[in-house]
Structure 1
Amino acid sequence: MSEQSALTTAESVAALVAAHPQWLDDGRGVPTDPSPAATLIGTGESYAAWLVLSREFADLRAPQGPRAVVVRVPHSVDALPRPMSEEFAALVAAPEGIGPRPIHLATVADPLGAELGSQTSDTAYMVVEHVPGHPRPAAGWTDDLLATHAAQLVRLHERAYDGWGDVTATDRLEPRLSMVDTGEASMQWWSDQHPGLATAADVAALWPRVRALFAATEPQFERLERFALTHGDAALPNILVAGGQPRYVDWEWSSIGDPARDLAFIGGDVWLDPWYLRLGPERIERYLHAYVAAGGQGEPASLAARGRCWLVNEVFFLALHFRRRAEQGADPEYAERADTLLARLDAALA
């Protein structure tokens, strides 16, 4: 199979990895006869994720298990919210053990991606290390695990930047971040692209209160001078826990940005299973103090204020996204999720 063939079946993905056995070298060397097998393990909004295991006899008998990689194939390169090169560059920049180790990137019509990996004329894909573990249910998120998550984010946020922007453009970062501008830009996009969703009665009634929260917290963002590499979508499904240690997958929203965003996506006074935890003020305070105690920069009160804005921004526009998915014929549960998020947001901003 050529690398330009469509990667839509287990056989095609396995054949791709078979042609590149070096990708399976996890420190144990390159398998002589990997005989890879591929299994579809996830189909998200942007990517299909394939787990590829080496079936070499020695690997099947190894105490640590077979060598494995994950191949991420975008449904449509043109529809990706951010270029694949941004995600891959973030994985390159992230400290070891935070996310999957980046292995190979093949891009279509993306010069930055070609610099990081290789160019393909047809199907783009990304090969990364397989991260062991599973998302924890809400009941499994103890204060100890929240503190461990906070300490991992400290490691991710360790390097300081003097502005925010793309991971691949650290020489062109913006020095000031406005939450009002961020929210208004998103609302303008929805108004232009999906006016019926943006003008729905409950959405139109909530938006002034959402914007008022952003405006009231804007001084906290104006004082923000230290930025960091951020995952950008550290919600529960993207946090895999193994042996009590969290690691982060699906880095498509990564950027140089406000560390409070990563902290916020764990949940708060607006929640929805399985994405966001229901956390009261006391637990959030303990969580943020654990972050600062582990070496995280910032004051807990400012992190909490900015983080609440990020969570509100996320769930408000996620509700519109869920309604769009329902209109497109997705599971009716999407419409119910949207109603739940907006109702809880309405109560939180009362």
Structure 2
Amino acid sequence: MPRSWTGQEVAEVVAAHPEWLGAPLSAGEPHRVGRGESYEAWLPAPAGPLVRFARRPIGELPADPAEEVAGMRLAPQGVGPRPIGADVLWVDDEQYPVVAQEFVPGRVLAPIEWTGALRRVLAAQLATLHTVTYPRPGSVRGVSQALDPEPGRLDFAAEVDGIIDHWAPRLPGAPGEAWAALCGPMQRYAAEVAPEIAALQEFSLIHGDPVLTNIVVDGNRPVLIDWEWTQIGDPARDLGFIGGAVHAGDWYAALTDEEITDLLRAYVSAGGRGEVVALRRRRDAWLAAEGLAVLAYLWWVDADPAQAITPANRSAAADLQRTVAAYLAAW
């Protein structure tokens, strides 16, 4: 089961790293401001920093925390928080990463609160992020530090196959049958879209998972948080995760064709590379594949008595099943 941290444990870790604070720690108990599948976020002082404690041992995390730190460090100022420091805690012979980063004020907005004007500001933020470019895709450190200089390409069909290979054995019974009914259409769709994605010759630093719950808004300024899935890849992926025809819960907004076009035009006007029609095809593809993966994850959690799925997430799974199926049927 994922680990939960106490305020006392957080205070002890922060006290061992006074360099994270930049000033003496004010009196008061640290308080938790967020909890996800992989991390808990804590504020040890009102002005920050934000300290994120892994809830699982490092070997069980879905992504390398060193990649997250590298991505935040490479991102242009103002797009996301700046990394401050990191540590690894030993608990019961297991290693748990801890990452300290700049605290970003603001709040996560519900999908209905995202106006066209705010989406256009987000598009400009993404265009700024995507100015960090490389000639090949891959991990942030592997590409930016030339650890793996071989030329590469993105294989979207293989990405979809990887999702299916990972989740199909983990979804028995009725959920598995319902999910399998989506996999064939998704693979056929991926085969059609893959050549366009494979043809890309320039790649960007991307956030990798800019769903609405990973964006904090202060006034009219959206800032990307939770860089767990940052990578060097297709910038259209970042443009897709705000939502569209595939939508669910608080993560992906239901957007009309006109709203998506407006978002992409704002992105290109702000200096984002690409042409609106091509960006639209690719961003829709990444969103559909992500919807399939998240649906599998939610059904897997729902089928495990040891895990508790919330009513909101069960409703989001129903939204994903319906909208992914409708999107593929309309393709």
- TM-score, with structure 2 as normaliser: 0.90
Q: CA contact under 8 A between 1:197 and 1:324: conserved in structure 2?
A: no
Report the number of matched residues: 317
1:43 aligns with 2:35: yes
Residue matched to 2:318: 339
Extract unaligned runs of 5+ from structure 1: 1-5, 54-65, 110-119
Residue matched to 1:180: 157
Residue matched to 2:52: 72
d(CA) in 1 for partners of 2:75, 2:136: 18
The C-alpha deviation readout for 1:179-208, integer Å capped at 9, x for no partner, is: 10110111111234x152798232222112
Q: How far does residue 108 in structure 1 lie from its aligned partner after superposition?
A: 6.8
Extract unaligned runs of 5+ from structure 2: none
1:48-63 matched pairs, under 5 angstroms:
48-53=40-45
1:145 aligns with 2:118: yes
Q: CA contact under 8 A between 1:234 and 1:248: conserved in structure 2?
A: yes
The secondary structure found in structure 2 opposite 1:154 is helix
d(CA) in 1 for partners of 2:256, 2:104: 30
> In structure 2, what residue type is equivalent to 1:331?
I
d(CA) in 1 for partners of 2:294, 2:203: 24
1:320 aligns with 2:296: yes
Q: CA contact under 8 A between 1:18 and 1:35: conserved in structure 2?
A: no
Answer with 175-184 or 333-342: which moved more.
Answer: 333-342
d(CA) in 2 for partners of 1:327, 1:69: 37
Q: How far does residue 16 in structure 1 lie from its aligned partner after superposition?
A: 2.2
Residue matched to 1:276: 252
Residue matched to 1:99: 80
d(CA) in 1 for partners of 2:278, 2:174: 30
Answer with 15-24 or 204-213: which moved more.
Answer: 15-24
d(CA) in 2 for partners of 1:294, 1:322: 36
> Structure 1 residues 123 and 7 mapped into 2: Cα distance closer, same or farther (>3 Å)?
farther
The C-alpha deviation readout for 1:303-325, integer Å capped at 9, x for no partner, is: 11011110000111101100111
Structure of larger gyration radius: 1
1:84 aligns with 2:77: no
> Structure 1 residues 199 and 215 mapped into 2: Cα distance closer, same or farther (>3 Å)?
farther
> Structure 1 residues 328 and 222 mapped into 2: Cα distance closer, same or farther (>3 Å)?
same
Q: CA contact under 8 A between 1:17 and 1:36: conserved in structure 2?
A: no
> Structure 1 residues 306 and 316 mapped into 2: Cα distance closer, same or farther (>3 Å)?
same
Q: CA contact under 8 A between 1:100 and 1:131: conserved in structure 2?
A: yes
Residue matched to 1:163: 136
Q: CA contact under 8 A between 1:14 and 1:36: conserved in structure 2?
A: no
Q: CA contact under 8 A between 1:7 and 1:13: conserved in structure 2?
A: no
Answer with 196-205 or 280-289: which moved more.
Answer: 196-205
> In structure 2, what residue type is equivalent to 1:191?
A
- TM-score, with structure 1 as normaliser: 0.85
The C-alpha deviation readout for 1:6-45, integer Å capped at 9, x for no partner, is: 98210121232233333122xxxx33x5335310111101
